């Protein structure tokens, strides 16, 4: 049976970091927030899922989009006898949400809506998502689960460097931290100099932001003459954008912390769908509240366990805007094997990319994460890069050209052309080895590429007809 991509365990991190000062003794605990729910036997969890799926089908029958489908297919709760019947239910896409904008999927009276959030809009017009008070309580509990799994304890102080607007990240994590009982510094996104001042004044043990912004904080510290490894943070919970295992190691080395991955999306609930435990061998899906399928994005058929596919999520317990089989477009792998932490839930790999972000270059499928992985395997580079795709020449007769602009470390710069060319060649060779494609590599000065406080934009596609 396939096994998940192996993440470094707490013990291996401790031994490999024995020379890194305080970090060597700061490893995540094995605490479980809700032992009854998180360690439930498989048979009990499956029975709960079927019960909740039947109730969900009955509840969403008030939504015109779903009601029309149920009537055509003669479907109802009584037809849901096993989890296999999930495949009889319709898919829901972001386009469906937009066509029924803003609240065509609402299943409660408008007076029961307690909060409205929106997606980040990185792939088009933002979509609005409604929450009842019950949804908000559930959201806090789900975030508490993965935060505790990743080392959060009531005595900690947490600096939240996520946005606090329509974006769901800041608020969901904020209330999850409150649920655990830890102290919160709601620093919000941006203003890196202020973030560093807060860290040095208030000594938070935990940082929450996007992985790319964690590196920006490390860069900002060095610019101010501060050793980023001397900052007080010891754990980081990072999400909001795909990131590689190599980037995790880079963040851990630069900030001297343990970095944990989590996953969620606004349309489903926000952060809280899944998160890593101390073992870090996949993110535990909160599958008592979410049914997650992994499907071939072209055929929409299930892929074998451990193979990459598009995540499709059904929200079992959402009250205001529950969704059936929501196509996330996120590509990942699912695993059912046991985890040493004791949790019995389904696990997922990190997100390798989005099916709608995948680039096709000269017939080769390319995800930006593959470029990131290649760069971080070449000494002297940084995790800051920009992919540019062009199709110069006569339309219909020209070939795609891929250029990767790479920031290199300040000490790597040299006025010797042969050294710089050798570095470009090493990067190009690594990109080819990982992604199977030839790229033109441009080396650029440190801090010359844009920094992001939210989701990083890594691709500029200038081909005709591209967004």
Question: Per-residue pLDDT tens for 16-75?
Answer: 333 333 333 356 777 899 999 999 999 999 999 999 999 999 999 999 999 999 999 999
The band of 7, judged by pLDDT with boundaries at 50, 70 and 90, is: very low
Calpha distance 298→452 (Å, rounded): 32
Residue 312's contacts (CB-CB under 8 Å, 6 or more residues apart) are: 91, 292, 293, 294, 295, 325, 326, 327, 328
* CATH T-level assignment (fold) for domain 359-461: GMP Synthetase; Chain A, domain 3 (3.30.300)
Q: pLDDT band for 251, please (50, 70, 90 cuts).
A: very high
CA–CA distance from 200 to each of 157, 224, 417, 446, 453 (Å)? Answer: 13, 12, 41, 25, 20
Q: Give the CATH superfamily of 10-38+132-354.
A: ANL, N-terminal domain (3.40.50.12780)
The H or E element containing residue 273 is: strand 270-276
pLDDT tens digit string along 170-212? 999 999 999 999 999 999 988 999 999 999 999 999 999 999 8
Taking a C-beta distance cutoff of 8 angstroms, is the pair 253, 227 a contact?
Answer: no
Instruction: Note the pLDDT tens digit of each residue in 382-397.
Output: 888 999 999 876 555 5
**Would you call 394 exposed, middle or buried from its count of C-beta atoms within 10 A (0-12, 13-18, 19+)?**
exposed
What is the rounded average pLDDT for all residues in the chain? 89
| Per-residue confidence (pLDDT) for residue 395, from 0 to 100 | 56
Per DSSP (E only), the strands in 20-162 are 115-118, 128-131, 157-160
Among residues 316, 324, 321, 326, the alpha carbon closest in space to that of 130 is found at: 321
Quick one: pLDDT band at residue 312, thresholds 50, 70, 90?
Answer: very high
Q: Where are the domains of the chain?
A: 10-38+132-354, 359-461
Confidence at residue 400, expressed as pLDDT on a 0 to 100 scale: 86
Grouping H, G, I as helix, E, B as strand and the rest as coil, residue 56 is helix
Q: Say if pTM beats, i.e. exceeds, 0.95.
A: no
Structure token digits, residue 383: 């995790």
Q: What is the mean pLDDT of residues 133-146?
A: 98
How far apart CA 177 and CA 160 sit, in angstroms, is 10
HSE-up (13 A, CA, CB side) for residue 256: 18
């Amino acid at each position: 049976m396939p096994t998940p991509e192996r993440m470094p365990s707490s013990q291996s991190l401790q031994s490999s970091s024995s020379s890194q000062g305080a970090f060597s003794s700061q490893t995540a605990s094995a605490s479980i927030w809700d032992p009854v729910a998180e360690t439930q036997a498989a048979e009990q969890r499956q029975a709960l899922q079927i019960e909740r799926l039947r109730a969900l089908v009955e509840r969403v029958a008030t939504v015109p989009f779903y009601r029309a489908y149920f009537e055509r297919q003669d479907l109802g709760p009584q037809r849901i006898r096993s989890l296999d019947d999930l495949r009889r239910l319709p898919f829901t896409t972001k386009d469906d949400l937009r066509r029924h904008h803003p609240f065509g999927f609402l299943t409660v009276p408008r007076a029961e809506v307690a909060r409205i959030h929106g997606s980040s809009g990185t792939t088009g017009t933002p979509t609005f998502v409604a929450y009842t008070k019950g949804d908000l309580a559930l959201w806090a509990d789900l975030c508490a689960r993965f935060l505790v799994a990743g080392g959060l304890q009531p005595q900690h102080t947490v600096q939240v460097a996520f946005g606090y607007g329509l974006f769901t990240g800041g608020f969901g994590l904020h209330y999850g931290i409150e649920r655990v009982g830890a102290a919160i510094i709601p620093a919000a996104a941006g203003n890196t100099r202020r973030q560093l001042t807060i860290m040095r004044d208030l000594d938070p043990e935990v940082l929450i932001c996007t992985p790319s912004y964690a590196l920006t904080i490390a860069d900002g510290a060095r610019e101010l003459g501060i050793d980023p490894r001397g900052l007080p943070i010891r754990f980081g919970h990072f999400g909001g954008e795909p990131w590689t295992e190599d980037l995790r190691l880079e963040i851990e080395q630069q900030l001297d912390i343990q970095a944990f991955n989590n996953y969620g999306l606004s349309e489903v609930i926000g952060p809280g769908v899944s998160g890593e435990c101390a073992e870090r061998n996949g993110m535990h899906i909160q599958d008592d509240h979410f049914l997650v399928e992994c499907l071939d994005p072209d055929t929409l058929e299930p892929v074998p366990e451990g193979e990459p596919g598009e995540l499709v999520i059904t929200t079992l317990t959402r009250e205001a805007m529950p969704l059936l089989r929501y196509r996330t477009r996120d590509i990942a792998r699912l695993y059912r094997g046991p985890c040493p932490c004791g949790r019995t839930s389904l696990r997922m790999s990190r997100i390798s990319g989005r099916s709608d972000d995948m680039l096709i270059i000269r017939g080769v499928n390319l995800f930006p994460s593959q470029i990131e992985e290649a760069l971080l395997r070449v000494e002297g580079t940084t995790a800051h890069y920009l992919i540019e795709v062009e199709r110069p020449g006569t339309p219909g007769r020209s070939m795609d050209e891929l250029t990767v602009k790479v920031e290199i470390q300040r000490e790597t710069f040299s006025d010797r052309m042969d050294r710089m060319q050798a570095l470009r060649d090493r990067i190009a060779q690594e990109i080819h080895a990982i992604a199977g494609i030839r790229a033109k590599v441009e080396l650029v000065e440190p801090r010359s590429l844009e920094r992001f406080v939210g989701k990083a934009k890594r691709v500029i596609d200038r081909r005709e007809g591209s967004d």
